[in-house]
Every structure is written in C-alpha cells, then in structure tokens.
C-alpha cells in the first residue's frame, strides 16, 4: 500500500451556521478496505454505511468501496474542527478535513452622535456589526461614494467578534437628506447594509431677481421691481431690504420680499441688499442699480 494517507482524498469544508456541511472521504485505488469517518473527539461517526453515533444530523449521502460521503445538517459552531477519514489497510491510513463555520453578523446598527448637524461641523458615526465570525470588515458610503478614514475596533466574546467602525465626517449643506451607508464585507452574507439619512442645517442662500423691467435697461422714469428669494434649513423667517452705505430712498416701497420703485431717478443709484437669517446665520445678496 502507498504511504500514510496517500490513497485517501478529502477537502476542507466551510459552511454558514445552520446550513449543511458535506464531508467526503474518497479512496483513489480501492482494495475494498473499510472506510470510516471520525469526529474531532475521535468517535466513529460512520463505519462503512453504519452509524454508531447517536446524532441523526449525520446522514449518509453516498457509500461505495471508493467513497464515504456524509452530510451534517444544521451546523453549529460546536461542530467545528478536524474530522478524520480512515482506511483500514495495513498499516491504516488517515487524513483529516477541517470544518469551518461562518456566522453572519446578528445585527447591524448605525449610531449618529448628533441627529441634526450644522454645515461645516464634524460629526461622528459608529456602525456596529454584532457577533459574527470571522470578524467582519465594515465599509462606509455617502450616497454612492465610498468614504475612507474610518477606524475599526474588534471585540471578541468566546467564538464571536463584534466590530465597531468609527467615522468622522465633515458635513456641508449638500449632505442634507443624503444617506450614509454602512456595508458589511463578510463571507457568510451578501449585501448586508444599513443606512441613515443625514440632516444638516445651513444658513440661507439668497438670490435677488429683477421682475421688471423683464430685460433691458433700468431707465429714468420707469418702474423697477425686485424680488428676493431665500432658502435655508430651517427656512428663513426674517428677510429685509436695505441700501448699502446710504439711506433707503423715501419713494421705495418694500412689501415682504419685494422692492418697488415706481419712478426711477438718478438719486436711486446704488447697491440694494436683501438680508435673510435663520437659526444658523445670516446671508445676503446685492443688486446694483444704475439708472440710465
């Protein structure tokens, strides 16, 4: 007979917890010798097609002179280890196969240090993947752009690993309403991710537009109508018109966001400013008037 175990073939098995592991002991050149399978404690699971072990999770899949194939259903972590294929030749031959059990994370949670942030602020996000094995890798995305610079911490509890990834993110107004996604890279699970939407407060954006004249020159004796628009988060409540470096002319009518001069003259020349403010801050937009 050939040297130790050279006539026997098997493969290592990797299986997700709860699934089925299949162990195969094969003989290359069979001489009708007995094949048997032992568990990590060296108890006989199968001796030919007979099962001495009182564990019905082990079932015979195939039995012949050249193969003993056994399935193990509902695999748990305690099933991990080395299983031995033996061939009763003289001398006996033996090889082992290793069962590795993967456990997907039980839970994935994002925790944001501040529910509502302000533009320009740095916020801390933590994503925790509970109790997996092996330890998972966590990746971060903002929208569909991957974020770098996160730091992971691994905590081991008996056979399981809990991983927490910490990310510091500087937020701007363009991030308001954008999802931050925590994605898990793990051999036991596909496409496991969770997301939280960012809420970012920002100071007003202000724009002044000329309603009348619609196009063309602002001529003496003609009317001028300006409108001020402001957007922010929270929505600006306070809006006001002023003339930069000068008093507002007496004949200017301001109603809400509109400014009206019904009869332009040269003394109206200057810069008109619309100011808007909210809880975050104050912004303005300017309109330069030149009367022709």
Domain assignment present for residue 1? The answer is: no
Q: Average per-residue pLDDT in the chain?
A: 95
Stretch 167-177: mean pLDDT: 96
Q: What is the pLDDT of residue 59?
A: 98
Query: Does position 199 have pLDDT exceeding 50, yes or no?
Result: yes
> 115-168 pLDDT, tens per residue?
999 999 999 999 999 999 999 999 999 999 999 999 999 999 988 999 999 999
Domain that holds residue 261: 203-289
Domain assignment present for residue 2? The answer is: no
Domain assignment present for residue 3? The answer is: no
Q: What is the pLDDT of residue 214?
A: 87
Q: What is the pLDDT of residue 147?
A: 97
Stretch 266-289: mean pLDDT: 97
Query: Does position 1 have pLDDT exceeding 50, yes or no?
Result: no
Query: Domain ends where: 135, 157, 191?
Result: 191
| HEC sequence for the chain | CCCCCCCEECCCEEEECCCCEEEEEEECCCCCCCEEEECCCCCEEEECCECCCCCCCEEEEEECCCEEEEEECCCCHHHCEEEEEEECCCCCEEEEEEEEEEECCCEEEEEECCCCEECCCEEEEEEEEEEEECCCEEEEEECCEEECCCEEEEEEECCEEEEEEEEEEECCHHHCCCEEEEEEEECCEEEEEEEEECCEEEEEEEEEEEEECCCCCCCCCCCEEEEEEEEEECCCCEEEEEECCCCCCCCEEEECCEEEECCCCHHHCEEEEEEEECCCCEEEEEEEECCC
Query: Domain ends where: 191, 224, 255?
Result: 191
Query: Domain ends where: 64, 81, 102?
Result: 102
Query: Does position 77 have pLDDT exceeding 60, yes or no?
Result: yes
Query: Does position 2 have pLDDT exceeding 50, yes or no?
Result: no
Q: How confident is the model at residue 235 (pLDDT cuts 50, 70, 90)?
A: very high
Find the CATH number of the domain harbouring 115: 2.60.40.10
Q: How confident is the model at residue 32 (pLDDT cuts 50, 70, 90)?
A: confident
Domain assignment present for residue 248? The answer is: yes
Q: What is the pLDDT of residue 97?
A: 97
The count of structural domains within the chain is 3
Domain assignment present for residue 198? The answer is: no
Residues 176 and 200: beta-carbon distance below 8 Å = yes
Q: How confident is the model at residue 31 (pLDDT cuts 50, 70, 90)?
A: confident
Stretch 230-241: mean pLDDT: 94
Q: What is the pLDDT of residue 216?
A: 81
Between 71 and 245, name the one with better pLDDT.
71
Q: What is the pLDDT of residue 232?
A: 96
């Amino acid at each position: 007979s050939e040297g130790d175990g050279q006539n026997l073939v098997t493969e290592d098995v990797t299986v997700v917890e709860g699934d089925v592991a299949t162990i195969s002991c094969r003989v290359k050149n069979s001489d009708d010798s007995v094949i048997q399978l032992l568990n990590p404690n060296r108890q006989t699971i199968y001796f030919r097609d007979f099962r001495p072990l009182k564990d019905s999770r082990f079932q015979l899949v195939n039995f012949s002179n050249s193969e003993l194939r056994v399935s193990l259903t509902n695999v748990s972590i305690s099933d991990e280890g080395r299983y031995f294929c033996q061939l009763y030749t003289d001398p006996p031959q033996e090889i082992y196969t290793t069962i590795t059990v993967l456990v997907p994370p039980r839970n994935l949670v994002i925790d944001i240090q501040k529910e509502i942030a302000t533009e320009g602020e740095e916020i801390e996000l933590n994503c925790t993947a509970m109790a997996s094995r092996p330890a998972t890798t966590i990746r971060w995305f903002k929208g569909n752009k991957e974020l770098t610079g996160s730091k992971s911490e691994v905590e081991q509890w008996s056979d399981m690993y809990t991983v927490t990834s910490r990310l510091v993110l500087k937020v701007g107004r363009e991030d308001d309403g954008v999802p931050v996604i925590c994605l898990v890279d793990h051999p036991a699970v596909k496409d496991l991710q969770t997301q939280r939407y960012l809420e970012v407060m920002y100071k007003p954006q202000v724009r002044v537009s000329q309603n009348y004249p619609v196009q063309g020159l602002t001529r003496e004796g003609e009317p001028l109508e300006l409108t001020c628009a402001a957007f922010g988060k929270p929505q600006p409540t306070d809006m006001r018109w002023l003339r930069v470096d000068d008093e507002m002319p007496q004949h200017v009518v301001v109603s809400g966001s509109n400014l009206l001069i019904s009869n332009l003259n040269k003394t109206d020349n200057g810069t008109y400013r619309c100011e808007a403010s909210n809880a975050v801050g104050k912004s303005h937009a300017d309109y330069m008037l030149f009367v022709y």
